Amino acid sequence: MKRARAIAKADDQSIYMSWVLRILLAVTAIAMVMHATGAFAKAAPESFSGLAKKLLPTVVNISTTQTVEGREGPQIPQLPPGSPFEDFFKDFFDRNGPQQRSRRATSLGSGFIIDNKGHIVTNNHVIQDADEIHVILHDDTRLKATLVGRDPKTDLAVLKVEDADGVDLPQTEFGDSDKMEVGDWVIAIGNPFGLGGTVTAGIISARGRDINSGPYDDYLQTDASINRGNSGGPTFNMDGEVIGVNTAIFSPTGGSVGIGFAIPSSVAKPVIRQLIKNGEVRRGWLGVHIQSVTDEIAESLGLDEAAGAMIASVVPDGPAAAADFKPGDVILEFGGVEVPEMRRLPKIVADIEPGETVDAIVWRDGKRVTVSVEVGHLKEEPTQVASAPAKEKSGAREQEIEQLGLNVAGISDAMREKYKLSEDVKGVVVTGVDADGPAAEKGLQPGDRIIQVSQEDVTEPADVKRKVEQAKSQGRKSVLLRVQSERGLRFVAIRIDQG
């Protein structure tokens, strides 16, 4: 009997341990899944002191000096024309008037050392127009620096210190900004208000910010305190790697309100590399004018979603023209990189080395088409778009397009005179717009020219009416127009009035 009880007790313990083991394995599996999916919040660092001690020597203060011309002395008073005192005052101020004088102006910023050769990264606006540049290291060593190269489009510049023999130049390492997520901890180091090395901490508040500062805006937004003088300083991740270059703040007061912007390292690294190698940045150029793909445009083209960049016009003799890109094409992918929205395409193209041939995936005539193009070299001054000559047409009488809420007419001598149209215009001219109609909603005005409807050329009002009726019969809720106006060429998707 005792032996049977002992065996039963052992079996119970075995079953109990088995269940405990199963529960532990299940909890471990759930924890691993939650960690992999980011369900667990990362613990806040107990202290930033170790990281700050390591990184502070890699950050420098930048002092610039420039000559500013000015005038000093009394100014001639404003006198009415023909005043008897006019000649007297003119003679007096010609002899004793203000003289052109110059003064020395200084400004402060931040930067960071990237190699043992003395290369230092900062913002272009920190050193722009500077006559002299000095770098102050963490131990207060002051060194003269020269400009290696600068790139106004991304607001980056590279300097190099002189006479650095025997000087300790601890360098930073770049990290991958693409791996940073909203909520990740960061620290910023810089020279706010000229106070010297200052460390602040915060998190990534947002990614991909466009603040309309340039064509390649893709900023990291942080809430680490950034003030005047922090410009050009680094933002570090918790591994001590540079993942951003502090560039701008949003502030109604001029001081930090917790909204700072940093150029991501993914943008900065290729620019810095080219500045050191060439002294300038060579960017790829496609030679197209683009616009956003709205939901209405996507529906009119048969796209599943509003994505990509739509070509409004092609620059003559540019790379896109040579590769047979067409107005109305929607670029969905370029060089193997998806184009989720219009503003991403310029950066994708710019990152490609000029002269390289890449494939682009475009949406054309209701299907995906591959187009190969040799990327050109972007010049500082963009090439202007020239209008292609159009054939002379006999005037056609005005016709109402009820579904769009507008009237159109053929381009005749009378229309050219009325709307001040040049001899080489093409399409049909808008002569009237219903204030409550679909065309008015999209901003069409009398004098605008409709060049294409549903990506086909139109030469007379009947062409427009036929294409609109065709789109309506196909169940389309909108029709795509290519319009020429004072704002240039653009595509407009206009709702088809079903009434």
Catalytic residue ranges = 125, 155, 231
Q: How many Cα neighbours within 13 Å face the side chain of 452?
A: 16
* Distance from C-alpha of 431 to C-alpha of 434, rounded to nearest angstrom: 10
* Distance from C-alpha of 121 to C-alpha of 123, rounded to nearest angstrom: 7
The structure tokens listed for 405 are 């809420």
Contact of 342 with 332, CB cutoff 8 Å: no
* Distance from C-alpha of 342 to C-alpha of 286, rounded to nearest angstrom: 14
* Distance from C-alpha of 167 to C-alpha of 118, rounded to nearest angstrom: 10
* Distance from C-alpha of 437 to C-alpha of 402, rounded to nearest angstrom: 9
Beta bridge partners of 107: 64
Contact of 221 with 209, CB cutoff 8 Å: yes
CB proximity list for 355: less than 8 A, separation 6 or greater: 374, 375, 377
Distances (CA, A) of 6 to 2, 11, 12, 318, 408: 6, 9, 10, 91, 101
* Distance from C-alpha of 116 to C-alpha of 167, rounded to nearest angstrom: 10
Contact of 393 with 424, CB cutoff 8 Å: no
Strands (E), 124-233: 132-136, 142-151, 156-161, 185-190, 198-209, 219-222
